[in-house]
C-alpha cells in the first residue's frame, strides 16, 4: 500500500450557505491523504490537487459535507486503486477567533 499526502493546499473558492459566502470567494485550506494499491500505475498528486481545485471552483457547494462526499466519490471513480481517502476542508477566515472545517475518512 502506498499513500500520497497533500497538505495546506490553499486557494479561494465559493463555499458556504451565508449570503456573502455565495458571492465572495473565500480562502480554503485542503489536507488530503490517499492510500492506494500500487500496481504499475502511480497516483499523480498534481492531478489529484487539480481535480480537488476544479471541483470546488466549479460546483460551488453550499456545505462542506457535500463537497467532501462528492470529491471522494469522484476520486474513487477516477482512481479505482484507492483504498482510503482522508480529506479535510478548512475555512480559516470565516470566524475571527478560529479555523473551522470538516473532515471525512472513506475506506473502500
**Domain chopping of the chain, boundaries:** 1-30+67-94
Instruction: Quote the percentage of the chain above a pLDDT of 90.
Output: 93
Give the pLDDT of residue 20. 86
In the block, which residue shows the cell 457547494? 61
Which residues, 6 or more positions from 44, have their beta carbon under 8 angstroms from its beta carbon? none
Contact present, 17 and 64 (Cβ < 8 Å): no
18 band by pLDDT with thresholds 50, 70 and 90: confident
User: Using one digit for the tens of pLDDT, what is the confidence trace for 36-75?
Assistant: 999 888 999 999 999 999 999 999 999 999 999 999 999 9
pTM (2 decimals)?
0.93
Give the mean pLDDT of the chain. Answer: 96
Amino acid at each position: 500500500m502506498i499513500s500520497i499526502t497533500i497538505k495546506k493546499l490553499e486557494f479561494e473558492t465559493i463555499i458556504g450557505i451565508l449570503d456573502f459566502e455565495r458571492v465572495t470567494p473565500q480562502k480554503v485550506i485542503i489536507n488530503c491523504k490517499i492510500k492506494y494499491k500500487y500496481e504499475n500505475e502511480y497516483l499523480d498528486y498534481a492531478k489529484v490537487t487539480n481535480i480537488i481545485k476544479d471541483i470546488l471552483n466549479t460546483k460551488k457547494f453550499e456545505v462542506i459535507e457535500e463537497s467532501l462526499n462528492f470529491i471522494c466519490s469522484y476520486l474513487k471513480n477516477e482512481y479505482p486503486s484507492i483504498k482510503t481517502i482522508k480529506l479535510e476542508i478548512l475555512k480559516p477566515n470565516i470566524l475571527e477567533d478560529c479555523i473551522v472545517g470538516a473532515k471525512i475518512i472513506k475506506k473502500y
